[in-house]
Chains A and B, each alone.
With several copies, the nearest count.
Chain A
Amino acid sequence: MQLSLSPEDQTFRTTAREWLAANVPRRRAPNDGRPARDFALAWLARCNAGGWSGISWPDEFGGRGLSQERLIVWYEEYVRARAPSVLDCTFVALNHAGPTLIACGSDEQKGFHLPRILAGESIWCQGFSEPGSGSDLASLATTGRVEGDHLVVNGQKIWTSFADIADYQELLIRTEAGSKRHHGLSWVICDMKSAGITVRPIENMAGAVHFAEVFYDNVRIPLSEVVGDLHDGWRVAMNTLAFERKTAAIGLQLELSVKVEDLIDLAAPPRGSAIAERLATLRAEAAALRAMTYRTLLREPETPSDGSLVRLCFAELAQRVNRTAMDILGADALLENAWTHDYLESYSETIAGGTAEIQRNIIAERVLGLPRVKTQ
């Protein structure tokens, strides 16, 4: 077990730190809409110009192909520099869509989309969840009927992040009529400007529009936009989810340590006070979350679901940190500011991408081997 940087890695850290110091935007990112899109794309374009886009993507696809060490170092510096949250509207493109195309896309798909993603020229959104299948992805019902060399898509997605400002969508649909559960799905690139698409934005409880419902009324998508094989979408989708859960979360997880430090500065609690005790525990937990983040990257997992532990641990710690902030803020907790905004946003941590209840089921069943029960 080693956690030691080579001289070259040390130099890499210095380079990263200096670049970030010179380039991180001073103002906080806008919450949503066109301003959020413009801000995020500008920041990504800047990163790309500096050679910091697609840091974990392989060289051959235009990424930086960083080793695990350097990925960690990069994110350590990134969050220390208070750079914009990695969970912005470029997240899906960089961390879902791009890696999926790299793994399963055709040469044409890769050639067209990957450079645009890296350069900060296209926003992607995810079209997985449906009204009837929030936690239960396998039950999805949006259909794609093959007509000649097109798919004709009908149905509805929900909880699609940034659909209102996205250029493309990674769309999971049922292409084999009458198929059940994981079978007969396809993973398709959907141009959001296609005729027949209606986007209805959903305001969230923090007053921001991240989510949307997307309706598909005979939307025609060329079969050439299917990623991987037709009807093989589940395998393609699982690929994406695995990627998300391992790599892309580093930035978010490490960010929490910074947030705890900011909170300690804000509170300046007298020693021995109740709030000092809470902050001391949060600090220790943030350290442990960081340790889990490192281990997720730097150790072979014992089961493929090991990552679900750190994911849930992060989600609930993020909520505790934000709740503590509200208690510290006093009357300012009633105003709109960065803390209250983050507090309200943090309610999604245990809901989006699989509720905490589902995550605990997964840990119990797949990590610990407890029996699966049909009705659950």
Chain B
Amino acid sequence: MTCDLNLSGEQRQIIDAAAAMLRTEYPVDRRRRWVADDLAAAAAFGMFGLGLPEGDGGAGFSLVEEALVHVLSGRHLVSSGSLATALGARLARAAGHAELADRLVAGEAFVCAGVPAGDSVLLMERGEAAFALVFDNRDFELREVGAALASEESALGHGASVERIPRVSKGVIARSAEPRMLAIADLLVSAQLLGVAEAVRDLAVAYAQVRQQFGQPIGGFQAIKHHCANMAIGAEMLSCQLDMAAIALRDGREDGAFQVAALRRLAPHVALANARLSIQVHGGVGFSAEAAVHHYLKQAHLLSRLGSAADILDLPAPLAPLVRVQERN
């Protein structure tokens, strides 16, 4: 069968392995006492070279597997540095900085994500990162960043920290506006947003099964059921579109840019809507800092600032996307 959207055995294996690593190294509970994620365990797992050829120190998987692993990262609220490091390694290699790329893949250095804000750049959850990947709409900039200096602010009043540095470009290592690179960034950002959307759905369903009100689990009430169903629909849409976009990009299909733009447009919307519904299903507990669900909401806001959807109206719509493609690897 040339068309098959089941996970292959190999895909199942890498997903299971990633899930096991994340459960051990990045349990969601860690967010209760916030320290920026140490991404060494993710690097040791090979997360930052997943999609690179084996010759480049990568694991030789494709963008599809890489995206699926980032979905799991999103479920575990792994810091956005995981995206920035994976993308930074690609950018460094493309710009001829093979050594830096190798160090990033190997977990010897890390990249944090940055977004412009007026005259500043906001670095997110910087942790030990010595580099920053600044997502400037249709443009990337990989910069060296000095020792932590500037004001740390608390992103959205809780959890992840934000550090403000001047916008003026210093220590630039590489820059890119290459469409494929932008598309990969949008794919991986969206994958993490899907992870958020799925995680909050599952949290809500689990809570609705145990929380009792008026003598029954609240999951028995139709309003709660429908909130959960809405979360499921959103996550399913996004998940299906992620497969489409990842496959199209992997295979170099003509409709890759369109599929990614569609995905990236929906992802923040679905992740935020699901987080909102999940908080509502959780009631008072969901509004407290103790439940995990608000961290997902904030992560969704944060991820939504990264990458940028091409305007989908600028791209031709593929009305017959199934085509013959060359085998890639």
Instruction: Please determine if A and B sit in direct contact within the complex, based on CB atoms under 8 angstroms apart.
Output: yes
B-binding residues in A (CB < 8 A): 1-7, 9-10, 13, 67-69, 72-73, 76-77, 79-80, 129, 132-136, 139, 158-159, 202-208, 211, 257-258, 260-261, 264, 269, 271, 276, 279-281, 283-285, 287-292, 294-295, 298-300, 309-310, 312-313, 326, 330-336, 340-341, 344, 347-348, 350-352, 355-357, 359-361, 363-365, 367-373, 375-376
Q: Which of B154, B313, B325 is A280 in contact with, Cβ under 8 Å?
A: B313
Contact between A368 and B205, CB atoms less than 8 A apart: yes
A-binding residues in B (CB < 8 A): 1-8, 11, 64, 115-117, 122, 124, 153-158, 162, 201, 205, 208-209, 212-217, 219-226, 228-230, 232-233, 236-238, 240-241, 243-244, 246-248, 251, 258-259, 261-263, 265-266, 269, 276, 279-280, 283-284, 286-290, 294, 297, 301-302, 305, 311-313, 317, 319-325
Contact between A295 and B205, CB atoms less than 8 A apart: no
Residues of B within 8 A of A291 (CB): 237, 240-241, 243-244
Q: Which of B8, B154, B205 is A336 in contact with, Cβ under 8 Å?
A: B154
Q: Which of B1, B116, B201, B301 is A69 in contact with, Cβ under 8 Å?
A: B1
Contact between A371 and B240, CB atoms less than 8 A apart: no
Q: Which of A208, A283, A333, A347 is B279 in contact with, Cβ under 8 Å?
A: A347
Residues of B within 8 A of A287 (CB): 241, 244, 258-259, 262, 317
Residues of A within 8 A of B224 (CB): 357, 370
For B6, the closest partner residue in chain A by CB is A299
For A269, the closest partner residue in chain B by CB is B313
Q: Which of B3, B7, B223, B265 is A281 in contact with, Cβ under 8 Å?
A: B265
Residues of A within 8 A of B124 (CB): 334
Residues of A within 8 A of B240 (CB): 288, 291-292, 294-295
* CB of A62 to closest CB in B, whole Å: 24
For B216, the closest partner residue in chain A by CB is A375
**Contacts A67-B1, A344-B156, A371-B219 given; 10 further ones with Cβ under 8 A?**
A1-B7, A1-B247, A69-B3, A203-B288, A288-B262, A289-B237, A312-B233, A331-B115, A367-B232, A375-B216
* Given known A-B contacts A4-B324, A279-B313, A284 and B158 have beta carbons under 8 A apart: no
Residues of A within 8 A of B223 (CB): 357, 360
- A158 and B124 CA atoms in complex are apart in Å by 34
Contact between A288 and B238, CB atoms less than 8 A apart: yes
Contact between A4 and B323, CB atoms less than 8 A apart: yes
* Given known A-B contacts A4-B325, A363-B233, A357 and B221 have beta carbons under 8 A apart: yes
- A358 and B228 CA atoms in complex are apart in Å by 14
Most chain B CB neighbours (cut-off 10 Å) among A2, A68, A309, A340: A2
- A322 and B210 CA atoms in complex are apart in Å by 31
Contact between A284 and B262, CB atoms less than 8 A apart: yes
- A281 and B226 CA atoms in complex are apart in Å by 23
Contact between A3 and B322, CB atoms less than 8 A apart: yes
Contact between B226 and A360, CB atoms less than 8 A apart: yes
Contact between B243 and A295, CB atoms less than 8 A apart: yes
Q: Which of B3, B220, B244 is A371 in contact with, Cβ under 8 Å?
A: B220
**What are 6 A-B residue pairs whose CB atoms fall within 8 Å in the complex?**
A9-B322, A207-B154, A291-B244, A333-B305, A363-B229, A375-B215
Contact between A2 and B4, CB atoms less than 8 A apart: yes
- A258 and B318 CA atoms in complex are apart in Å by 10
* Given known A-B contacts A330-B117, A334-B155, A368 and B7 have beta carbons under 8 A apart: no
- A179 and B87 CA atoms in complex are apart in Å by 64
- A10 and B325 CA atoms in complex are apart in Å by 11
Most chain A CB neighbours (cut-off 10 Å) among B219, B225, B247, B258: B225
- A3 and B117 CA atoms in complex are apart in Å by 40
Contact between B6 and A206, CB atoms less than 8 A apart: no
Residues of A within 8 A of B208 (CB): 370
* Given known A-B contacts A3-B5, A285-B266, A313-B237, A334 and B287 have beta carbons under 8 A apart: no
Contact between B117 and A309, CB atoms less than 8 A apart: no
For B155, the closest partner residue in chain A by CB is A334
* Given known A-B contacts A5-B2, A206-B157, A363-B229, A13 and B320 have beta carbons under 8 A apart: yes
- A133 and B229 CA atoms in complex are apart in Å by 24
Residues of A within 8 A of B317 (CB): 257, 260-261, 283, 287
- A330 and B120 CA atoms in complex are apart in Å by 13
Contact between A375 and B162, CB atoms less than 8 A apart: no
For B282, the closest partner residue in chain A by CB is A351
Contact between B2 and A364, CB atoms less than 8 A apart: no
Residues of A within 8 A of B283 (CB): 134-135, 351, 355
Most chain B CB neighbours (cut-off 10 Å) among A208, A291, A336: A291
- A367 and B235 CA atoms in complex are apart in Å by 13
Contact between A294 and B5, CB atoms less than 8 A apart: yes
- A203 and B244 CA atoms in complex are apart in Å by 41
Contact between A334 and B266, CB atoms less than 8 A apart: no
- A213 and B237 CA atoms in complex are apart in Å by 37
* Given known A-B contacts A340-B157, A341-B157, A368 and B280 have beta carbons under 8 A apart: no
* Given known A-B contacts A334-B156, A334-B301, A72 and B3 have beta carbons under 8 A apart: yes
- A24 and B247 CA atoms in complex are apart in Å by 32
Q: Which of B7, B116, B215, B313 is A276 in contact with, Cβ under 8 Å?
A: B313
Contact between B153 and A352, CB atoms less than 8 A apart: no
* CB of B257 to closest CB in A, whole Å: 12
Contact between A371 and B259, CB atoms less than 8 A apart: no
Residues of A within 8 A of B325 (CB): 4
- A69 and B4 CA atoms in complex are apart in Å by 9
Contact between A159 and B284, CB atoms less than 8 A apart: yes
Contact between A204 and B237, CB atoms less than 8 A apart: no
Residues of B within 8 A of A334 (CB): 115, 117, 122, 124, 155-156, 162, 301-302, 305
- A264 and B124 CA atoms in complex are apart in Å by 28
- A269 and B217 CA atoms in complex are apart in Å by 45
Residues of A within 8 A of B230 (CB): 360
Contact between B3 and A205, CB atoms less than 8 A apart: no
- A281 and B265 CA atoms in complex are apart in Å by 7
